[in-house]
Amino acid sequence: MNREESKIVNPDVCIRCATCMGICPVARVTASFPGPKQAGPGAERFRKPGDPSVDEWIHLCIGCRLCDTVCSSCVNVSEMNLLAKAKYRDEHGMPLRDWMFAHNSFVEKLAGRVPRLSNAVLRNPLVRRLLDRLLKIDLRRPLPVYEATTFRQWFRTHTGRGGKPIGYFYGCYANTHERDVAIAAVQVLEAAGYEVVIPRQECCGLPALGQGDVGEARRMAERNVPWLLAAVRSGLEIVFTSTSCGHMLKYEYSRFLEIPDADEVARHLHELFDYLRDLQGKGQFDVRFRSRPLRAAYFAPCHLRSLQIGFPSLDILRRIPELQIEMVDADCCGMGGLYGFKKEKAPIADAIGADLTKAVERLNVEMVLTECEGCRMQIQRLTGLRTLHPIQIVRDALEPGAGN
Amino acid sequence: MRYDLIVIGMGLSGLMSAKTAVDAGAKVLVVGKGTGGLCLFTSGIDVMGALPAGAAMGEALPRWIERHPDHPYAKMGWEGVREALEAFAELFPPPYGFAPEGEGNCLLPTGAGTTRPTYLVPATMRSACRLEKERTLLVGFQGFRDFYAEYAAAGLKCRGENLAIPEIAGRNNSATSLARLLEDLPFREQVAAEIVRRLRGETHVGFPALLGFRNPMEILKDLEDRTGTAIFEIPILPPSVPGMRIFRRFRQHLIARGATFLLGSPVSRILRNGPSCTAVEILHPPVTQVYEADRFVLATGRFMGGGLCADEETMREPLLGLPLSASLPREHWFERSFLEGREHAIHGVGVVTDGDLRPLDGAGRPYAANLWIAGTLLAHQRWIDEKSREGIEIATGYRAARKALAS
Amino acid sequence: MHLKTEVIIIGGGSTGTGIARDLALREIPSILLEKGDFTSGASGRNHGLLHSGARYVVSDREAARECITENRILKAIAPHCIEATGGFFVSLPEDSLYWRDQFIRSCMDVGIEAEPLQRDDVLQRDPAINPDLVAAVRVPDGAVDPFLLVIENARDAERNGAKCLTHVEVTELLAAGGRIRGVMARDTITGEPHDIEAPFVVNATGAWADHILKLAGLHLGLILSKGSMLITNRRLCRHVINRCRPPGDGDIIVPNETVSILGTTSVTIDDIGRIEVTPPEVSRLIEAASHLIPAVKTTRFIRAYAGVRPLFQFADAADGRAVSREFVLVDHGARDGLSGLITITGGKLITYRLMAEKVCDLLCGKMGVRVDCKTAVTPLPGAERPFDLSGRLKEFGDVPLQGRGETLCDCELIGRGEIEGILRQGRLRNLQDILHRTRLAKGTCQGAFCVYRLLGVLQEQGLTGGGEPHEILKGFLEERWKGVRPILGGLSLREEELIESIYRGLFNL
C-alpha cells in the first residue's frame, strides 16, 4: 500500500484540537508515546516519501482505535499509525518473536494438534524464562492453554436441530483455546432456530497486521475472502463472536487491504449480538431465559467500539432475569492482542491494566464479560475473576429446551 | 429496530437531548463523531457571561432575553433554562456538583492568567471564586507544557511556580497522564510535599484542571489536607479533563439506561419521506448502517462539529441543506481584527427555528414534522463572546428532546 | 548613544546584512540599522526560492547568468540554509513546445543544467504533478530559508567586526556641504536616540528606499509591486515546480520544510502601509497552481502573506550606475550631489551577495582601498542543521528529553531546548524576533498551542517585559490573523473555530 495513493492518509483535516490526546490509553500512562495527535497527523507532515522510517516509537501505539472514534475531523489516526508501523517493519525487518506472532495461526495449528505436549512445554518455567530472555515474551503472562479437542473437532460430530442456515466465523483463538465460546454461540443460534454452518475459513490475519506484516495479512485475507464470498453468495449471513476477528474481516479487509469483493462479504458479516439484537427487535428471538442471579461486569473491547454497533450484548443480557450487569468504566484493557505479550510493552500493558483492574474492583462483581479474547486474558490475569464471553452466559441462561 | 428518538451529535447538546429522552423512558440512539467541544474547552457551565458583573442571573437574564428575542434562550425563557440546568446538575451529585456561586456569574481564573465569567461552578473550581491575589499560589508542573504557573500568575497578579517532580520533569507529560498520576496516593504525596515546600503563607493553591477523572473531589480534599490550603482547578489548553468528566458521566448514564451509544460514526444522510425524517444512514466503509426512528434531534454543532461547512464562498448545513439565517458573502465572514471591535459575523449564522426548536424552511414553516435542532447550530447566538455555550447546549438539548417526545 | 564608523547600512534584509558581512570580511567596520527585525521586508516575505535562473533565461540572459552563478555560490557557502530539491519546468498540453525548445537552448547557452525528462519519469519523481503533463525540464532550483540566510549573514558580520542594531529607525540623514555625515536614529522600543557618524551611508532598505531618501529630500521613484503567496498545510511535492512558459502569476510551487508555498502575484501598490492578500489573489493563485499540481484544488491552506518588491525603471544610464537590469546601484553623489550616500535596490534574494559585492566594491573604490570580496568563497558558519525532515521524527522516544526539553510546538516539533538556545543569543526585543528564528507557530495551527507555551517559557525566564502578559499574546493573535484571514474558507474554518474557542472563549482575551 503506497502511502501517497492511500485514501486513508489525510493529515489535512486534523485541526490539532487534541481531543484524541484525551482518550489515548497509551499516552495516559507513558510520556514515551507522543500520543495520536503527534503519532498520526502530526508525524505525517514530516514523512517524506522515500525517506527511511525512524519512528520506532510508533510501535507503542496499541491499536485500540479509540482516537478515531473521538476525532470530530475524521482523521484516520489508527490507520496512519498502522501504515507507519508496516513501513518501519518493511525497512528494519521484524524481530523473530514478531515474525512468530505474525504467523501465529501456523504455530497454533501445529501446537493445537498436540495439546497436552504444547501445554506442558509452555507451562515449563525454564521454557518461559528462555522465551522471556531470548524472544522477549513476557514471563509473567500466562500463555493460552490448548484445549484437548478443538471447536472444529467438536462441531464435526455435532448435529444441529435444523432450521434456517447461518454461517459462523469462529476465530482461531476460540478454536484451540476457548472452544466453549464457539460452542455457546452454536447453541444459542440453534435455540434461536438456526442451523449453524461453518464456511471454509482460516485465521483472519489480524496477528500479522498487528505486527505490521501487511503482506502476510493480505495473503491470509486473499484466502478467506473467496471462501466467505462463496458462503455469502449461497445465501448465508455470517456471524462472528470474536470482535477482533470480526473487525478485521468486516473493515480492514476492504478499507485497509482493499481485497476485491471484501465489501460484499462485509455487508453480510455480523457481530453475533448485533444480529441477535436485530432479531429481537423483529420479535424473532423469543427464547426464554432462566434466572441468573449474578453480579457481572461488562467490558466493551476496543474492536467492538470500532465496529460502531454500540454494545448489543447489553440488550440481550438485560433480558436475563436477576442478572445484574455493570459496565466497566474503562476504555482499554491494555492487552492490545499480542501487544501485551511483549516484554518491552509490559509496563504500558500493566499500567493500562491497572486502571482497568481498579475499575472492575470498584464494581464488586463475581465475573466479567467481554467479547474479546485478549481482554478476557488480561482481565482474568489482573482481577482473578472468572471472565467469559457474554454468549456463554446467554447460553447458560437458556431454558432447557428453549427455542423459537 | 426502531428508535423513539435519534440524536445526531455527541456534544453537550446531543448528550443532554439523549439524557432527557432516556429519563422519560424513550428508546434512544445517540450517534456522533467526536465529543463536541466538551472535551476541549469546558471550565464551568456558562449560561450568559455577558451580563453585568454582580447581576443576579434570575433577574438579568430575562431582561437580556427580552433584548435578544431571536436568541435560543428566548425559546424557553429563563424558567426553561433553569429547569434544564437542574436536569443537568442532577447528573452530578455531591461531592462533584455544579452550582452557582451566589446569584449570578462568578469570575474564574484561566490558564492564560485572565478571568472568565461562568455560572454553574464545578466543586473543584469553587475555591477560585473571589480570588485573593496575595493569598494565592498557582502551581504547574515542570514537564507539563499546557500550563505555566508563572505566566498565569503574572496575569492574575498572584504568585506562581512550576513544581519539580523528578518522575515527570523533563518529559512530555500530557494532561491525562498527570490526571491519572494524581489518582495515585504516592504521587499526590510528593506533589503535596512540593507545594508545602514552596508555600509562603498562601492559603489558596490553584492547579491546572487535571485532578483526576473519577473522583476529583477526593483528590482535591486529600491535597487540601496535606497542604493545609484551599485548592482549585484552573481551565487550561485542550484537552479538558473537566469536560471529559462530564462526557464520561453522560455516557455512563445513557448506557446504563439502555441508550444505543454510537461514538465514532459520522451520519452521512438523513432519510426522508415526505414531511418526515425516517432514518439516519451511517457510512462506516464499506458498510452503510441505517437506523430508523420516529423523531430526530440534530445537534451537530458548528464548523468543528460538522454541523456547518463552507467552501470558498458559501456556508451550508450539510446533512439536510437546512436554510441558514443569513447568506453572508465571504468577505463579511470575519472582521479585520481578531479580537477588537465587532464579533465576526459568521458566528451568528445558523439554523433558524420556531419556539419549539423545529427548523424552518425558506417560507418560515417547519422543515419537517419530526426534526428538532439543539446546540450551537442554532442561529442568532454568539456563544464565544456571550460566554453561553453550555447553557445553550443544555437548555436547547433539554427542550428539543421534550418537545420531540411530546409530539 | 553616539557612535562612529566607516559605513552605515540602513536595512537589515538580505542586501543589508550581505553588505555588512562583505565589509566585515574586508575588515571595514560598519553599523547596520534596521527599524524592525532582520528580514522585515521582502527578505522575509518571498517565495523561499533558490532560483536556478531558468525562469529568466528566455527573456533576460544576463539576469539568468547572474542567478545560476549565485545559485552555485550559495549552495557552496550556505548549504545549511538550502534544500537542494531541484526543480521542474513542466509543460502542459497547452504550453508551447517551441518556447520549451528556446528555453532549453537558452539554459544551455547560459550554463544552467537543463535535463529534459519524459512524462513517466517526471511522474515517478514527483507523483503530485498533473498527470496531463507532456514533458518537463529539470533544473537546479532549490528551496532556501531566507530567515536563516539573513541571520547567518548578520551573525558572521558581527563576528568579524560589524555592529547590527535592530529596532532602530533612521530619523534623519545628516549632511553638510554636499557630503553625508551620518544619521540620527531612534530605538523604536525604548525611544533612545542614536547619533551615528560615518562618511558613507548605504540605503539598502529595499521597498523603503524612497522613504529614506525623502529624509534628504531625494527621490528615486520606485514602483512597488506586491507579491502574494499561499502556504499549504502539507508539502505537496518534492521539487520546485514551475510552468514551462513565459512567466505569469501563480506558476511556481516551492517546497519549504513541511509545507509548500504557492506564488506569486504582481500587483502595483501605492503605499507600503498594511499590505494584504486579497480574495481575487487567493483564487488566482489556487487556479494557476492547480494546473501544475491538481491536489492544490482540495488541499488545506494555513496562511497567506505578501511581500513588496521594489522595481526601478530609469530612462537613461546617466541616472546612476545600473550594474544590471535586475538591480540598481545609485551613487547619489553622481546623481544628486550628495556624496557618500548610495542606494542599492531591486534585485532578488538570490543575488543579494552579488549586490553586496558591487556595493562594497564601489565603497572601496571611494575609500581608495583595494580589498577583494571574500563572500563567495567563505562559507557561512552556522549550526550545522542538516536538512532532514523525516529524521526529526526520531526525537520522541523512551528517553528523557534532556537537551531537547518538552515539545512546545506540536505541529513543527520544536522543543523547549531550541527556544532556550535562541533566547540565549540575546538581543531579542519582542515576540516576533523570536518567531523569526524558529519554525514554532509555522505549522498547521499557526501557533494555537505553542505560542501560549512559548510565553510560559518567556515568563519563567523573566523575558516578558513586565507589561500585561496577555498583551503579547493578543498581539501575536492579531498578527497571526493577518496571515490566516485571507485563507479562511473550507477546511480552515474548523481550525479557526478552535482558536477562537480557546482564546476568545475559554481564555476570554
pLDDT tens-digit readout, C308-332: 988 876 544 443 343 445 788 999 9
Return the partners of chain C (3 or more C-beta pairs < 8 Å).
A, B
For C502, the closest chain B residue by CA position comes to B41
Same-domain pairing of B262 and B401: yes
Percent of chain B predicted with pLDDT > 90: 89
Strands (E), A92-131: none
Q: Is C480 on the interface with B (CB under 8 A)?
A: yes
Cell numbers 514515551: residue: A32
Residue B289, in any domain of the structure: no
| Nearest to C71, CA basis, from C28, C107, C25, C29 | C107
Report the SS3 class of residue A71.
coil
Q: Which amino acid is at B123?
A: A
- Is the per-residue pLDDT at A116 higher than 90? yes
Q: Do B303 and C460 touch (CB under 8 A)?
A: no
Q: Do the Cβ atoms of C213 and C102 come closer than 8 Å?
A: no
CATH of the domain at B153: 3.40.50
pLDDT in tens, A141-169: 999 999 999 999 999 999 998 899 999 99
Same-domain pairing of B304 and B398: yes
Determine the CATH number of domain C81-142+223-306: 3.30.9.10
pLDDT in tens, B275-332: 999 999 998 889 999 999 999 999 999 999 999 999 888 999 999 999 999 999 998 9
Contacts of A282 in chain B (CB under 8 A): 1
- Is the per-residue pLDDT at B33 higher than 80? yes
Domain count, chain B: 2
Distance CA(C459)–CA(B126), nearest Å, equals 27
Contact pairs from chain A to chain C, CB under 8 Å: 83
Sheet with A164-169, strands from edge to edge, namely: A194-197, A164-169, A238-240, A269-271
**Average pLDDT for residues C390-400, to the nearest whole number?**
70
Contacts of C441 (CB under 8 A, 6+ apart): C409, C412, C435, C447, C450, C451, C454, C480
Q: Do A47 and C390 touch (CB under 8 A)?
A: yes
Give the closest-approach CA distance of A133 to chain C in angstroms: 21
Same-domain pairing of B86 and B169: no
Residue B100, in any domain of the structure: no
| Nearest to B321, CA basis, from B311, B305, B331, B307 | B307
Distance CA(B407)–CA(B4), nearest Å, equals 11
- Is the per-residue pLDDT at A5 higher than 50? no
Rounded to 10°, the helix B175-182/B185-198 angle is 100
**Average pLDDT for residues A239-246, to the nearest whole number?**
97
C2-42+147-222+325-367 CATH, one of 3.10.20.740, 3.30.750.24, 3.50.50.60, 3.20.20.70: 3.50.50.60
DSSP β-bridge partners for residue C142: C50
Q: Do A46 and C444 touch (CB under 8 A)?
A: no
Q: Is C491 on the interface with B (CB under 8 A)?
A: no
Distance CA(C495)–CA(C488), nearest Å, equals 9
More confident residue, C439 or A403: C439
Q: Do C495 and A15 touch (CB under 8 A)?
A: yes
Q: Do the Cβ atoms of C378 and C44 come closer than 8 Å?
A: no
Q: Do the Cβ atoms of A25 and A331 come closer than 8 Å?
A: yes
Same-domain pairing of B261 and B398: yes
What residue numbers bound the domain in which B87 lies? 2-95+244-280+295-406
Same-domain pairing of B185 and B275: no
Same-domain pairing of B157 and B179: yes
Cβ count near C383 (within 10 Å) = 8
The region of weakest confidence among A195-199, C102-106, C202-206, C307-311 is C307-311
Contacts of C474 in chain B (CB under 8 A): 339
Report the SS3 class of residue C363.
helix
Choose the closest CB to B265 out of A30, A267, A308: A308
DSSP β-bridge partners for residue B279: B271, B292
For residue C407, the model assigns a pLDDT of: 87
Q: Is A7 on the interface with C (CB under 8 A)?
A: no
**Average pLDDT for residues A297-323, to the nearest whole number?**
96
**Average pLDDT for residues C477-488, to the nearest whole number?**
94
Cβ count near A198 (within 10 Å) = 17
Distance CA(A158)–CA(A196), nearest Å, equals 10
Contacts of A263 in chain B (CB under 8 A): 285-287
Cα B69 → chain centroid: 23
Cα C263 → chain centroid: 14
Same-domain pairing of B141 and B204: yes
Contacts of B344 (CB under 8 A, 6+ apart): B333, B334, B335, C500
Same-domain pairing of B66 and B205: no
**Average pLDDT for residues A49-55, to the nearest whole number?**
87
Q: Do the Cβ atoms of C59 and C192 come closer than 8 Å?
A: no
The DSSP code sequence of A4-62 is TT-SS--GGG-----HHHHH-HHHHH-SSS--HHIIIIIHHTT--TTPPP--GGGGG--
Same-domain pairing of B254 and B401: yes
The region of weakest confidence among B159-173, B224-238, B383-397 is B159-173
For residue B248, the model assigns a pLDDT of: 95
Q: Which amino acid is at A151?
A: F
Q: What share of chain C is helix, strand, coil (3-state, %, to 5)?
A: 40, 25, 40
- Of B39, B173, B268, which to mutate for an interface test with A (greatest number of A Cβ within 10 Å)? B39
The region of weakest confidence among A73-87, B152-166, B168-182, C307-321 is C307-321
- Is the per-residue pLDDT at A338 higher than 50? yes
Cβ count near C354 (within 10 Å) = 23
Q: Do C389 and A13 touch (CB under 8 A)?
A: no
Return the partners of chain A (3 or more C-beta pairs < 8 Å).
B, C
Distance CA(A201)–CA(A182), nearest Å, equals 14
For A282, the closest chain B residue by CA position comes to B1
Q: Do the Cβ atoms of C329 and C342 come closer than 8 Å?
A: yes
pTM for the model stands at 0.94
Percent of chain C predicted with pLDDT > 70: 95
For B180, the closest chain A residue by CA position comes to A28
pLDDT in tens, B342-396: 889 999 999 999 999 999 998 999 999 999 999 999 999 999 999 999 999 999 9
Tell me the pLDDT band of A47, cut-offs 50, 70 and 90.
Answer: confident
**Average pLDDT for residues C225-235, to the nearest whole number?**
94
Rounded to a whole number of angstroms, the distance between the first and last alpha carbons of chain C is 38
Q: Do the Cβ atoms of B280 and B271 come closer than 8 Å?
A: yes
Q: Is A17 on the interface with C (CB under 8 A)?
A: yes
Chain C segment 362-401 residues within 8 A of A by beta carbon are 389-394, 396-398
pLDDT in tens, A351-364: 999 999 999 999 99
pLDDT in tens, C3-41: 999 999 999 999 999 999 999 999 999 999 999 999 989
Q: Do A21 and B239 touch (CB under 8 A)?
A: yes
Report the SS3 class of residue B197.
helix
Distance CA(B83)–CA(A251), nearest Å, equals 44
Distance CA(C261)–CA(C232), nearest Å, equals 6
Q: Do A31 and B171 touch (CB under 8 A)?
A: yes
Contacts of C468 in chain B (CB under 8 A): 155
CA atoms within 13 A on the CB side of B355: 5
Give the closest-approach CA distance of A326 to chain B in angstroms: 8
Q: Is A91 on the interface with C (CB under 8 A)?
A: no
**C-alpha cell, A26:** 497509551
- Is the per-residue pLDDT at C383 higher than 80? no
Q: Do the Cβ atoms of C401 and B170 come closer than 8 Å?
A: yes
For B309, the closest chain C residue by CA position comes to C490
Q: Do A29 and B174 touch (CB under 8 A)?
A: no
Choose the closest CB to B303 out of C408, C449, C494: C494
| Nearest to B235, CA basis, from B119, B113, B100, B144 | B113
Judged on CB neighbours under 10 Å (0-12, 13-18, 19+), A61 is buried
State the average pLDDT for chain A.
93
- Is the per-residue pLDDT at A3 higher than 50? no
For A362, the closest chain B residue by CA position comes to B214
Q: Do B252 and A329 touch (CB under 8 A)?
A: yes
Distance CA(C487)–CA(C39), nearest Å, equals 23
Choose the closest CB to B256 out of A34, A309, A327: A327
DSSP β-bridge partners for residue A269: A238
Tell me the pLDDT band of B169, cut-offs 50, 70 and 90.
Answer: confident
Contacts of B337 in chain C (CB under 8 A): 478, 481
Q: Do B244 and A31 touch (CB under 8 A)?
A: no
Q: Do A19 and B248 touch (CB under 8 A)?
A: no
The DSSP code sequence of B340-381 is SSSPPGGGG--B-B-TT--BB-TTSSBS-TTEEE-STTBSS-
Q: Do B145 and C508 touch (CB under 8 A)?
A: no
Alpha-carbon distances, residue A155 vs A239, A245, B161, C128, C131 (angstroms) = 16, 20, 67, 54, 56
The DSSP code sequence of C463-507 is -STTS-HHHHHHHHHHHHHHHHGGG-STTHHHHHHHHHIIIIIIS
Domain positions in chain C are 2-42+147-222+325-367, 81-142+223-306, 389-506
Give the closest-approach CA distance of C256 to chain B in angstroms: 25
Contacts of A27 in chain B (CB under 8 A): 174, 176-177
**Average pLDDT for residues B71-75, to the nearest whole number?**
97
Choose the closest CB to C389 out of A37, A38, A48: A48
Contacts of B240 in chain A (CB under 8 A): 22
B93-B95-B98-B101 Cα dihedral, nearest 10 degrees:
130
Same-domain pairing of B217 and B263: no
Choose the closest CB to B33 out of A72, A250, A263: A72
For residue C319, the model assigns a pLDDT of: 38
Alpha-carbon distances, residue A311 vs A65, A273, A288, A378, C461 (angstroms) = 16, 8, 21, 20, 52
* CA-only gyration radius of chain B, Å: 22
Q: Do B145 and C489 touch (CB under 8 A)?
A: no
Give the closest-approach CA distance of C391 to chain A in angstroms: 6
Percent of chain A predicted with pLDDT > 70: 97
Report the SS3 class of residue B203.
coil
For residue C323, the model assigns a pLDDT of: 40
Residue B101, in any domain of the structure: no
C175: left (phi over 0), alpha (psi -120 to 50) or beta: beta
For residue C158, the model assigns a pLDDT of: 96
* CA-only gyration radius of chain C, Å: 23
For residue C321, the model assigns a pLDDT of: 40
| Nearest to B357, CA basis, from B317, B318, B392 | B392
For residue C406, the model assigns a pLDDT of: 83
Residue B300, in any domain of the structure: yes
For B241, the closest chain A residue by CA position comes to A22
Tell me the pLDDT band of A51, cut-offs 50, 70 and 90.
Answer: confident
Alpha-carbon distances, residue B15 vs B150, B167, B254 (angstroms) = 37, 38, 8
Q: Do B238 and C405 touch (CB under 8 A)?
A: no
C243 φ, ψ (degrees, to nearest 5): -100, 130
pLDDT in tens, B181-213: 999 999 999 999 999 999 999 999 999 999 999
Return the partners of chain B (3 or more C-beta pairs < 8 Å).
A, C
CATH of the domain at B299: 3.50.50.60
